[in-house]
Amino acid sequence: MVDDIDGSDATQTVPFTLDGAAYEIDLSDDNAARLRDEFAPFVAAGRRTGGRKTRLTTPNTNGTKVTTDREHTRAVRAWARDNGWPISDRGRIPSEVLDAHNRVRREAPVAKSRSRSRRKK
């Protein structure tokens, strides 16, 4: 995984919600701590409206982290099928498949988004 902020190695996927929109971001331990520190005063002053505290990443047997988010799992299964990996519809995704998927994701060039600030008048 690649840290979405600085391009270093990411160690976790951090979910968060703001203004009704849910997000997740891949971060290194340092950047994840920085994000949590920045949110801390707002979380402390806010009211919890539901949900539960969950851990969305779990350690893998080879020391890497595996995201257990359903959307990500579906995407990995689809990628595996498209790339000839034998994969079941349910159950644990083999670490070899996850490692291959993560390796391809790291190597894929990141497309820069275009600014939509220009408007025709």
Q: What is the pLDDT of residues 61-113, one digit of tens each?
A: 555 555 457 788 888 999 999 999 988 888 888 888 888 888 888 887 655 55
- Range of weakest confidence among 30-34, 43-47, 65-69, 84-88: 65-69
Quick one: which of 51, 43, 56 has its CA closest to 12?
56
What residues does each domain of the chain span? 1-54, 55-112
* CATH number for the domain formed by residue range(s) 1-54: 3.30.60.230
- Write down how long the chain is: 121
Distance of alpha carbon 44 from alpha carbon 59, whole angstroms: 28
Q: Which residue has the tokens 């990996």?
A: 85
Separation CA 90–CA 40 (nearest Å): 37
